[in-house]
Amino acid sequence: MRLLLVEDDQLLAEGLSSQLEKAGFSVDIAHTAKEAGVLGEQEDYKAGVLDLGLPDGNGLDVLRRWRANKVAFPVLILTARGDWQDKVNGLKAGADDYLAKPFQTEELIARLNAIMRRSEGRVHSTVKVGRFELDENRQCLQIEDGTEHSLTGTEFRLLRCLMGRPGHIFSKEQLMEQLYNLNESPNENIIEAYIRRLRKLVGAETIATRRGQGYLFNDTV
Ligand code: CA
């Protein structure tokens, strides 16, 4: 899942980003309001984390502009502790949740998963398709026969993407976009390698190839 992290504090941004990557996100960092505005409108993010105090403007203005331009991904704002006005203004500007600094990364991740769940209309923290259940808290795959497999960050992201829309064909480019951030430029063959690994877990026929189009998660097998 692509995530946009808007935070001008370089150390905080890098630390957070590596923890978010471990939790299954692929993260782009924007350090300024200007960068955030552009990235939010042009990339396909599943969620955003937005610091309000940015060197070239207020995060709330970025958020208002996104919402005015129909940028719909759920956004969690980072506020100063005790600043209730920021929270209220943030929610009014279109934020989906807030967290006061300093915070525990675990809480941030749990809240991000919750707002993404809501934006997808899900109630549970698992994605269930046919015989398969993906647990986003524990980053593992459970199969009806009782087996359970823990997944690497990339395996989880790829499966999460495919299982999020069973029967839908994803092109390699679309899958690459959800798997990697703007700074990474892996070869497209890597998708094939990961698909092979996932097929060993779910069975070859469960992830089908549509020649020239892409891959789909088959919920009817
Ligand atoms: Ca700041």
Sign for the CA dihedral angle at 10, 175, 157, 95 comes to positive
Give me ligand 1 centre to Cα 125, in Å: 30
Q: How far is the CA of 180 from the centre of ligand 1 (A)?
A: 25
177 contacts 2 by C-beta, under 8 angstroms: yes
Expressed in angstroms and rounded, the spacing between residue 35 Cα and the centre of ligand 1 is 14
Three-state secondary structure call for residue 169: coil
Residues of the chain above pLDDT 90, percent: 79
Q: DSSP class of residue 52?
A: S
Q: At what angle do helices 153-164 and 172-179 cross, to 10 degrees?
A: 130
The closest alpha carbon to 95, from 124, 71, 125, belongs to 71
Q: What is the pLDDT of residues 122-176, one digit of tens each?
A: 888 899 999 999 998 889 999 999 999 999 988 999 999 999 899 999 999 889 8
Domains of the chain and any CATH numbers: 2-119 (3.40.50.2300), 126-217 (1.10.10.10)
CA distance 177 to 99: 27
Q: Mind listing the pLDDT tens digit for each residue in 45-104?
A: 999 999 999 999 999 999 999 999 999 999 999 998 778 999 999 999 999 999 999 999
Q: According to the model, what pLDDT value does residue 57 have?
A: 95
Confidence (pLDDT) at 123: 83
Alpha-carbon span 165 to 147, nearest angstrom: 23
The two tokens of residue 7 are 């935070």
Task: Please give all residues whose CB falls under 5 A of ion ligand 1, grouped by chain where several chains appear.
Answer: 8, 51, 53
Q: Looking at residue 221, what is its pLDDT?
A: 66
Tens digits of per-residue pLDDT, 161-188?
A: 999 899 999 999 889 888 888 888 788 7
In the chain, % of residues over pLDDT 70: 100
